[in-house]
Amino acid sequence: MTPSSLPSLSKNRSLRRTLYGLLLAVPALPLVGCDPYAKYGDCGTWQQYSKKSEELPLAEGEPLPRKPSCEPCPRPDHGPTGHLLSCAAEEAPRRDGAARAYLLVCQYDWCNPQDGRRPEGLRDPEVLEADDVLGAFMAHGAWMEAASVPAFLRLAEELAAHGAPDTLVRAARRSAGDEVRHARVMGALAQRHGARIPEVEVTPFTPRSLEELLVENAIEGCVRETYSALSTGWRARHAGDVELRQALRSIARDEVRHAELAWAVDAWGGERLSSSARVQVRQSRRDTLRELEAEVSRREPAEALVRLGGVPSRAQAQRLVQGLGEWVAQA
């Protein structure tokens, strides 16, 4: 039997009906309500991080500033998607003979589109350069697609090691190949906007139990990757940038298959877990759905990303997540 004639992963018709039904049911609302000051944009998931400033002088007996100026904070990482939120003063460790000093603990957020399966140990890029927010959005999407390649290769290896059917192992390897193509396509689009794609850095993988594999699959596959398939399908319909919209049509079809793989892995592995472990996997799905609901509700997308990038508005994203959550709760 040749590789092309081997049985492939079956379609999850219930999942497909849900995804396609939501794409048709949620109205394409006008841009009323988009935040005109959201110049940093939004692509669905805002993650926070902190950095510290250089030490600043502090006189003997002088209290720490309660509301310090954040001007001495370092520049945000992640190009146009990085945003300084706040800062707080913290007294610096005092060395022998040194004068008192304090530093600022600066809090930032940045837009992480979360397209694809995020591998364990993925290091966030320190710098993301682009001429505009759409370029930064596409560059980060290309980076995330590239980061999904090792995630799927690891999934294939672990599935084989745990005795999974060949159809699942082959589907995981095929998904890795899909992500190579997605990263190449999105990277080329991002470069049109002066973007530089960051390097993907992942810490070395260590062996995991079947339960650990399935918990990660529940988070990254059954929830986040399934929502990625949904949001990519939405963007493929609504992106004003013609080249982006055409590229997303092919990517969206692949992402549906990746979501089907996640649920097929969940179904196969769940039969091999203890009842308590199955409860943990289901709880991981529920917790991740709540996190996703909070993430899409956090900000209104920038007008450029809604109009050109096809990103769903906050209200649209909330309805998409709600509809997906109802299906996940019954799965």
- Nearest CA to 165 among 65, 64, 267, 78? 267
pLDDT tens sequence across 223-240: 999 999 999 999 999 999
- Domain CATH code at residue 17: 1.20.1260
106 and 230 belong to one structural domain = no
- How much is the pTM? 0.78
106 and 134 belong to one structural domain = no
* C-alpha triplet 221, 223, 225: angle, nearest 5°: 50
Q: Please state, as a whole number, how many other Cβ atoms lie within 10 Å of the Cβ of residue 183.
A: 23
74 lies in a domain? yes
2 lies in a domain? no
pLDDT tens sequence across 193-217: 888 888 899 999 999 999 999 999 9
270 and 222 belong to one structural domain = yes
**Total length of the chain:** 331
Quote the CA–CA distance of 182 and 35 in Å, as a whole number.
30
**pLDDT score at 294:** 87
174 and 288 belong to one structural domain = yes
Quote the CA–CA distance of 48 and 31 in Å, as a whole number.
27
User: Which ranges of the chain have pLDDT less than 50?
Assistant: 1-5, 30-44
Q: Count of domains in the chain?
A: 2
User: Is 261 strand, coil or helix?
Assistant: helix
207 and 73 belong to one structural domain = no
* C-alpha triplet 318, 226, 229: angle, nearest 5°: 85
**pLDDT score at 7:** 64
Q: For tokens 């710098």, what's the residue?
A: 127
Angle between helices 242-270 and 226-238 (to 10 degrees): 160
Mean pLDDT for all residues in the chain: 86
**pLDDT score at 113:** 54
85 and 171 belong to one structural domain = no
* 64, 79, 194 from 129: Cα distances, Å: 35, 5, 8
**pLDDT score at 319:** 94
| 28, burial (CB in 10 Å: exposed 0-12, middle 13-18, buried 19+) | exposed
Q: What is the DSSP string of 88-118?
A: EEEEPPPPTTPPPEEEEEEEEEEE----S-P
Range of the domain at 52: 46-57+66-91+101-111
82 and 200 belong to one structural domain = no
96 lies in a domain? no
Quote the CA–CA distance of 31 and 298 in Å, as a whole number.
17
**pLDDT score at 114:** 54
156 lies in a domain? yes
143 and 202 belong to one structural domain = yes
pLDDT tens sequence across 136-178: 888 888 999 999 999 999 999 999 999 999 999 999 999 999 9
186 and 311 belong to one structural domain = yes
182 and 209 belong to one structural domain = yes
188 and 255 belong to one structural domain = yes
CB neighbours of 223 closer than 8 A, spacing ≥ 6?
Answer: 285, 288, 289, 292, 328
Q: Which amino acid is at 11?
A: K
